[in-house]
Amino acid sequence: MDLQGPGPQLTLWFGSAQKWVSGPLFDVSGFTNSPELSTLNGFTTWYKISRDEVYYMFGTGNPKRLSRWTANQFGKVERLLWNESISMWNLVLNLPKNQCDEYSPCGPYGLCDLNGSPICSCLQGFRPKSQLEWDQRDYSSGCVRLTALDCKNSTDGFLNVTYTSLPDTGLATIHNTISFDECRLMCLMNCSCTGYARADVYGRGCIIWVSELIGVGTVSYGGRDVYVRLASADLDICICKDSLHGIWRADATKGTHNR
């Protein structure tokens, strides 16, 4: 359990490389990027977040039904259920689920979409940091801005990327007592802010990022809206795709002009 950032999250390391993160745990709705950990049929989950302790527990609710959770040699977390009739362990959950579920599959400001070909692209307003590496299907260096932010003149705005996993929250902060409009204004006033999002599924509070956005990807279940800070020049064109088919949708809104 990694306690760095605004909420505790499960982290899997494969040697010295970070392989997978569950997304932060803010409340009983579960880990933001891994709803399967809370909604898996046949399992009951318990959470506790307090000043003194943090834990996540799961069970079958039946002492005669055995289950276990392991990390294997391939860098996967597996949840297994014992099948008494055939005397074997049945695999019921495997994380990360796919390449887009891994940690930083497309680098900073990259968007991972399993329906895309290739699966990695840059968010609107960004380009590959190394086009040569991207042509060779190496996306680790991610993307860089087309246009520098202009915080001084308050002309920046936000790109709304929907149906996505939350970026890595290791260096993000959570604000539980401000409105969403106040969160947007707070981000605009902080020249280090790179984006923001609602803190939980009920729309309470917000998360503010002050680092590169890593791990943005489309999800087939759930997902959040993430507002990515862009220079005004990169918000003039709205790129919209069909979100009903698991593809990202981005709606551009100017920074100070819509307040």
Residues 136 and 222 in one domain: yes
Whether residue 1 lies inside any domain: the answer is no
- Is 45 within 8 Å of 58 (Cβ atoms)? yes
Q: How far does Cα 48 stand from its chain's mean position? A: 22
- Is 72 within 8 Å of 60 (Cβ atoms)? no
Q: What is the mean pLDDT of the chain?
A: 82
Residues 118 and 198 in one domain: yes
Q: Where would I find the H helices in 70-224?
A: 131-135, 180-189
Whether residue 104 lies inside any domain: the answer is yes
Residues 155 and 107 in one domain: yes
- Is 129 within 8 Å of 140 (Cβ atoms)? no
Whether residue 202 lies inside any domain: the answer is yes
Instruction: Give the pLDDT of residue 27.
Output: 64
Number of structural domains the chain divides into? 2
Whether residue 198 lies inside any domain: the answer is yes
Segments of the chain assigned E as strands: 11-14, 17-21, 44-49, 54-59, 67-71, 77-83, 88-95, 110-112, 120-122, 126-128, 143-145, 157-164, 173-175, 195-198, 206-209, 216-217, 224-230, 250-253
Measured CA to CA, the distance from residue 61 to residue 44 in angstroms comes to: 6
Q: What is the pTM of this model?
A: 0.81
Is residue 202 very low, low, confident or very high in pLDDT (cuts 50, 70, 90)?
A: low
Of 95, 121, 146, which residue sits at a domain end? 95
Instruction: Give the pLDDT of residue 247.
Output: 37
Of 95, 111, 142, which residue sits at a domain end? 95
Residues 222 and 157 in one domain: yes
pLDDT digits (tens, 9 = 90+) for 63-86: 778 888 888 888 888 988 888 889
Which DSSP category does 202 fall into? Answer: T
Whether residue 210 lies inside any domain: the answer is yes
β-sheet bridge partners, residue 12: 20
Helix (H, G, I), strand (E, B) or coil at 93: strand
Who's near 131: CB < 8 A, 6+ residues apart? none
Instruction: Give the pLDDT of residue 241.
Output: 47
What's the domain range around 38? 11-95
Residues 147 and 227 in one domain: yes
Is residue 20 very low, low, confident or very high in pLDDT (cuts 50, 70, 90)?
A: confident
Of 35, 63, 95, which residue sits at a domain end? 95
Chain position carrying tokens 């279940």 = 221
Whether residue 258 lies inside any domain: the answer is no
Is residue 112 very low, low, confident or very high in pLDDT (cuts 50, 70, 90)?
A: very high
Residues 90 and 112 in one domain: no
Instruction: Give the pLDDT of residue 239.
Output: 47
Instruction: Give the pLDDT of residue 256.
Output: 36
pLDDT digits (tens, 9 = 90+) for 223-252: 789 999 999 999 865 544 444 433 334 444
Q: Is the pLDDT of residue 194 over 90?
A: yes
pLDDT digits (tens, 9 = 90+) for 116-175: 889 999 999 999 999 999 999 999 999 999 999 998 888 999 999 988 888 999 889 989
